[in-house]
């Protein structure tokens, strides 16, 4: 699938492929032309992806080939053991988690999981967790705390599931409890937005010592489409809404709502899973080393201070 702003690049890449095929099937020397075209493509890619609008970043975060939570986990660990169920209602397939080793450290990984095919998307509920998903996440966090293992959460959701049955089972309470409990966890907690970070659905697993965003992701109280429908009674103004929301990684860092941005390969994480995972792993290991040197009390106090100092309020 090609996004609108990727089409000029794709057209040049098609020409490059044709030129290379011509070189194979004829005696014509096109090496100079190939080299020039490769330089032109690289230049166009750099210009395009360094000047993306906020809405284009949103589009890139939703790219159907973009890596999801399990893609990253299986890439950076080789012994991941998935754990299931909230021990109350059922196993929410939109929320995944389990132990895996990264470097020499055993880590509890937790995150929302989207599906690629129609069947998978239905099974995963498009990455929108029910209350039992958040309770499952909390159960796994408490298990990690019991065994003194750090926690890494990977956030990628269009929001918590807004269905009637979710509200009946306590969606708001489940998310609120996670916010409170995550604040007081005694082990290091690293939270990373790897795709979409929408509203309380994202925040329900995003209270940590360190919060990072990958380069082409977004994090906001509401999606551009929903914002547009509320303000303009139409989804047609989603691009203006995205600009007004200031929801990109750069915006979040500027407003001191996150601690850093994780670089992606040129063109987005979906173009090179190995490279994107390598950057992710590097940041996780670096932060775990720093956080492990602190006492639980220091981490909890700093965590509380971190989130208490966000925003502005008054009487």
Write the pLDDT tens digit of every residue in 72-97. 999 999 999 999 999 999 999 999 99
Nearest to 141 by CA among 100, 107, 175: 107
Instruction: State the virtual CA torsion across 141, 143, 145, 151 in degrees, nearest 10.
Output: -40
Nearest to 277 by CA among 76, 49, 17, 14: 76
Write the pLDDT tens digit of every residue in 47-68. 999 999 999 999 999 999 999 9
Write the pLDDT tens digit of every residue in 121-142. 999 999 999 999 999 999 999 9
Single pTM value for the model: 0.93
Nearest to 262 by CA among 254, 274, 271, 250: 250
- Please give the distance of CA 241 from its chain centroid, rounded to a whole number: 21
DSSP strands (E only) in the chain: 81-82, 95-102, 105-112, 151-157, 189-198, 210-214, 218-220, 260-262
Confidence of residue 279 (pLDDT cuts 50, 70, 90): very high
Write the pLDDT tens digit of every residue in 297-307. 999 999 999 99
CB within 8 A of 200, min separation 6: which ones? 159, 160, 172, 175
- Mean pLDDT, all residues of the chain: 94
CB within 8 A of 23, min separation 6: which ones? 29, 30, 31, 34
Phi, psi of 196 (to 5 degrees): -95, 135
User: What is the pLDDT averaged over residues 234-242?
Assistant: 95
Cα-based angle 36, 37, 40 (whole degrees, multiple of 5): 90
User: What is the pLDDT averaged over residues 235-247?
Assistant: 95
In this prediction, residue 132 carries a pLDDT of: 97
In this prediction, residue 311 carries a pLDDT of: 79
CB within 8 A of 207, min separation 6: which ones? 178, 179, 182, 183, 189, 191, 303, 307
pLDDT at 246 over 80: yes
Q: Are 209 and 190 in contact (CB under 8 A)?
A: yes
Cα-based angle 186, 192, 196 (whole degrees, multiple of 5): 135
Cα-based angle 86, 165, 154 (whole degrees, multiple of 5): 45
In this prediction, residue 35 carries a pLDDT of: 87
Nearest to 142 by CA among 97, 173, 102: 97
Write the pLDDT tens digit of every residue in 3-62. 888 889 989 989 888 888 877 777 777 788 888 988 999 999 999 999 999 999 999 999
Write the pLDDT tens digit of every residue in 160-190. 999 999 999 999 999 999 999 999 999 999 9
pLDDT at 1 over 80: no
Confidence of residue 315 (pLDDT cuts 50, 70, 90): low
pLDDT at 313 over 80: no
């Amino acid at each position: 699938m090609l996004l609108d702003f990727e089409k000029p690049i794709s057209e040049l890449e098609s020409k490059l492929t044709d030129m290379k095929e011509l070189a194979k099937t004829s005696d014509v020397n096109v090496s100079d032309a190939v080299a020039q075209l490769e330089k032109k493509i690289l230049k166009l890619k750099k210009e395009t992806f360094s000047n993306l609008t906020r809405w284009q970043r949103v589009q890139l975060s939703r790219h159907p080939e973009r890596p999801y939570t399990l893609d990253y986990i299986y890439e950076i660990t080789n012994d991941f053991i998935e754990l299931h169920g909230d021990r109350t209602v059922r196993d929410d397939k939109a929320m995944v988690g389990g132990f895996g080793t990264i470097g020499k450290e055993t880590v509890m990984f937790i995150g929302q999981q989207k599906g690629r095919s129609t069947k998978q998307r239905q099974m995963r509920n498009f990455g929108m967790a029910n209350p039992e998903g958040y309770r499952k996440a909390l159960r796994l966090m408490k298990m990690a705390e019991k065994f003194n293992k750090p926690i890494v959460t990977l956030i990628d959701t269009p929001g918590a599931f807004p269905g009637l049955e979710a509200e009946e089972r306590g969606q708001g309470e489940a998310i609120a409890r996670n916010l409170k409990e995550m604040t007081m966890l005694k082990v290091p907690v690293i939270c990373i937005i790897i795709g979409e970070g929408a509203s309380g659905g994202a925040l329900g697993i995003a209270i940590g010592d360190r919060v990072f965003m990958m380069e082409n992701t977004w994090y906001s109280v509401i999606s551009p489409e929903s914002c547009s429908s509320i303000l303009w009674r139409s989804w047609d103004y989603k691009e203006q809404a995205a600009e007004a929301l200031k929801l990109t990684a750069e915006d979040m860092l500027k407003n001191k709502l996150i601690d850093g941005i994780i670089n992606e390969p040129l063109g987005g994480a979906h173009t090179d899973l190995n490279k994107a995972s390598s950057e992710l792993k590097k940041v996780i290991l670096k932060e775990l080393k720093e956080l492990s040197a602190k006492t639980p009390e220091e981490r909890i106090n700093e965590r509380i201070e971190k989130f208490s100092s966000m925003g502005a309020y008054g009487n």
